[in-house]
Structure 1
Amino acid sequence: MSKPASGRLVSLDALRGFDMFWIMSGEHIIHALAKATGWQIFIWMSEQLHHTVWNGITFYDMIFPLFLFISGISMPYSVQKRMQLAGVTAAFELPRGEKNRLYLSMLRRTLILLILGMIVNGLLAFKGYHNTRFASVLGRIGLAWFFAGLIYLNNDVRRQVLWLLLLLFGYWAMMAFIPVPGYGAGVLTMDGSLESYIDRLLLPGKLHDGVHDPEGILSTIPAIGTALMGILTGTFLRWEGFSMSKKALSLFLSGIILIAIGLLWDHFFPINKRLWTSSFVVYVGGWSLLLLSFFYWIIDVAGFRRWAFPFIIIGTNSILIYMCAEGLANFGYTADYIFGGMIRQVALVWQPVLIAVSVTSVQLIFLYLLYRNKLFLKI
């Protein structure tokens, strides 16, 4: 645990917290409300809080890439002090010694995320090599962030954009034209895609879906693109050529353009979260920019921050609450101990709603205590 650095972009913490809220417990509240009320708005929201089976997209499919996008945005801010001390204006201009120290720090963070990801997958309850899943959400965040960081630290903005295009079009070309034994080229099914074939060939241990892993090897390539889009966005936000209002508008307009491009690309390379297709990267990148533009304008430009405080305390300890929500802590037991007696007095149909709300309340109290005491899990 450590104290957070000063000068944080508050809207970024809030957006990260908004993103993590749905995984942490928000989805359970919506699912319970949909069953209790039967209202179409909650039914629609509940449907959006499930992953698509294959092609297509829901809001829930965007939670993971949004978090990775936000991780990318943070990088230009995290190296800002090093750049000031070195007297340079761009990260690629940092002295070699300073870069080497950054590489080691980034590698350490990546290795920690890889290990934590395997722990979330159940590594500590080891049941043998072949029953261990090595790929993970946290592992993908670590790897994609690391390689995007290498690109950022060694290239100017123009070359970063070229790298982004190479990653996205290169992945599309591989998936479209490299044949898979027994299936041929351009087959984008769970068992017939090149991404799934590479996982079966090279990924050790257990695959998430038997023949395919959504955090597999090849699809890490476009995921690097997601992180790199975040880095480019963070660089833009630090740029002093625009006012904050113009930056918010630029983020919004760029988001609309990327959504349109993603929908167009969908006709040739379907939007698919499990394959992390290039159209998925562009489409979700557009929505990420739209969400960021709203949070940035409302919180950092207009100065309305109080409403976002619950999201801020989630966002400043996002990795910790993610690991807790994935089974490393039982907030339900504590919530039942505190609120269970009262909840069991209400109508049966409303009890799941109140149970979900009580769990969220306990989580927020836990996060608030950490926030108030300036305790943050920093990796």
Structure 2
Amino acid sequence: MNRQDSGRLLSLDALRGFDMFWIMSGEHIIHALAKATKWPLFLWMSEQLHHTVWNGFTFYDMIFPLFLFIAGISMPYSLQKKVQAAGVTAAFELPAEDKRKLYLSMLRRTLILIILGCIVNGLLAFKGYHHTRFASVLGRIGLAWFFAGMIYLNNNVRRQIYYLLILLLGYWMMMELIPVPGYGAGVLTMDGSLESYIDRLLLPGKLHDGVHDPEGILSTIPAVGTALMGILTGTFLRLEKYSMPKKALLLFSAGIVFILSGLIWDPCFPINKRLWTSSFVLYTAGWSLLFLSIFYWLIDIAGFRRWAFVFIIIGTNSILIYMCAEGMVNFGYTAEYIFGGMIRQLPLLWQPVFTAISVTMIQLMLLYLLYRNKIFLKI
């Protein structure tokens, strides 16, 4: 059966898993291979698996916005049954009572993600208010997804596009025109930007970088734009007037357009993940569309699915493996217990490579058992 008919895109699970693979352990394999082999390809890949210090872009900067973009795509699919049951054609036409229930459900999910994000940051270590970081990756996903969802549930596609423009252009104007005490307006440095100033002024607890937090308050505004672009993409994929191959082609073409748009905006509003600039939103949305079009064509259109199974089992439990990989589970201890003796028989230079691979194997074994038994972390 085609996954589009069942209301779920297999390619979306695979792409989410591909995205999460690099965070959970893939990056460590590449770093170890680069160190062991010194091969140009692995050295380049290793460089790409580090965040840029400030302005600029690497593949590692792509992981977070791609995940948020995918979360947006999922919304039109997750609400499909409710829309059909209500006898309407779009989510914004749902009856008020149905919307109120959705608001509460979405708010609950957002609050859970904020709390889980704080736990990942060490909330339960009880180090004290000033040593606890309250901003988080999961918190931003929850907030951006929630506000983008509110826009989606109350506006047609045209008005959603208007909101997207307001979010991106409004953020740009605020960052450029509102002066920061001691710095002035339009200073886009870590300590002098409006986003950083508001973090220092309003964000509770500890900031990630002392004077700035990459998941801060103001930069959540354009992050809503990232989620909303995902929602618009999911809405497009639900259209029946285009064939699946044509959808793939249009997604790919749109990806090129958005990448170029981000690059055009870059000189006056630099592509910057830590500020989540509007140019960054467009640029990463473009790459997200390219990745999606390729996965969509290979898996949902051409039917090449076996190669993606590893990514699918990661993608269907992505929040769980993210939390575990961020320090809540010591996979390294288990890998050492099972494979440590064999790894120590290898040449010293190659031991870190196989140690990283062994951690990945343990993670995949856990994910496979969960997948096989249909155990998924649902929030």
TM > 0.5: yes
1:74-118 CA distances to partner (integer Å, 9 max, x unpaired)? 000010000000000100000000000000000000000000000
How far does the alpha carbon of each residue in 1:183-234 deviate from its partner, in whole angstroms, 9 at most, with x for none? 0000000000000000011111111011000000000000000000000000
Determine whether 1:45 maps to 2:45. yes
State how 1:89-238 maps to structure 2 within 5 Å: 89-238=89-238
Quote the Cα distance in structure 1 between the aligned partners of 2:271 and 2:7: 36
| SS across alignment from 2:262 | helix
| Distance (whole Å) between structure 1 residues aligned to residue 361 and residue 129 of structure 2 | 38
- CA offset at residue 337 of structure 1? 1.1
How many angstroms does 1:7 deviate by?
Answer: 3.5
Q: Deviations over 1:108-140 (max 9, x none)?
A: 000000000000000000111111111000000
Match of 1:60 in 2: 60
1:178 positional shift? 0.4
Could you report, residue by residue, the CA deviation over 1:162-188 in whole angstroms, capped at 9, with x for unpaired residues? 000000000000000000010000000
One-letter amino acid of the structure 2 residue matched with residue 45 of structure 1: M
Letter in 2 for 1:301: I
1:98 is matched by which residue type in structure 2?
A: D
Q: What corresponds to 1:258 in structure 2?
A: 258
Q: Runs of at least 4 residues of structure 1 off by over 3 A?
A: none
Do 2:69 and 2:226's aligned partners in 1 also have CA atoms closer than 8 Å? yes
Aligned residue pairs total 375
Q: Which residue of 2 aligns with 1:3?
A: none
Give the equivalent residue in structure 2 for 1:285.
285
Measure the CA separation in 2 of the matches of 1:335 and 1:202.
Answer: 42
Amino acid at match of 1:319: I
1:79 corresponds to which letter in structure 2?
Answer: L
* Partner SS, residue 264 of structure 1: helix
In 2: Cα distance, 1:189 partner to 1:124 partner: 33
Identity %: 82
Letter in 2 for 1:336: E
1: CA distance, partners of 2:322 / 2:184 = 39
In structure 2, C-alpha distance between the alignment counterparts of 1:160 and 1:358, rounded to whole Å: 45
Structure 2 match to 1:351: 351
The residue that corresponds to 1:88 in the other structure is: 88
- The one-letter code of the counterpart of 2:211 is V
Deviations 1:211-263 (A, max 9, x none): 00000000000000000000000000001010000000000000000000000
Query: Does the CA contact (< 8 Å) of 2:248 and 2:293 recur in 1?
Result: yes
CA contact (8 A) 2:7 2:80 kept: no
Structure 1 unaligned residues grouped into runs of 5+: 1-5
* 3-state SS of 2:354 partner: helix
Q: Which amino acid aligns with 2:250?
A: S
Taking the aligned partners of 2:358 and 2:199, their CA distance within structure 1 comes to: 40
2:91/2:152 contact within 8 Å kept? yes
2:319 corresponds to 1:327: no
- Once residues 292 and 282 of structure 2 are traced to their aligned partners in structure 1, the CA distance between those partners, rounded to angstroms, is 15
TM-score (norm 2): 0.98
Q: What do the CA deviations read for 1:328-358 (whole angstroms, capped 9, x no partner)?
A: 1011111111111111001000000000000
Gaps of 5+ in 2: 1-5
Deviation of 1:24 (Å) = 0.2
The aligned residue for residue 11 of structure 2 is 11
Distance across 2 between alignment mates of 1:81 and 1:218:
34
- Root-mean-square deviation (Å): 0.8
CA distance in 2, matches of 1:80, 1:88: 10
CA distance in 2, matches of 1:190, 1:256: 30
CA distance in 2, matches of 1:268, 1:301: 40
Shift of 1:8: 1.9
Task: Give the Cα–Cα distance (whole angstroms) in 1 for the partners of residues 8 and 229 of structure 2.
Answer: 19
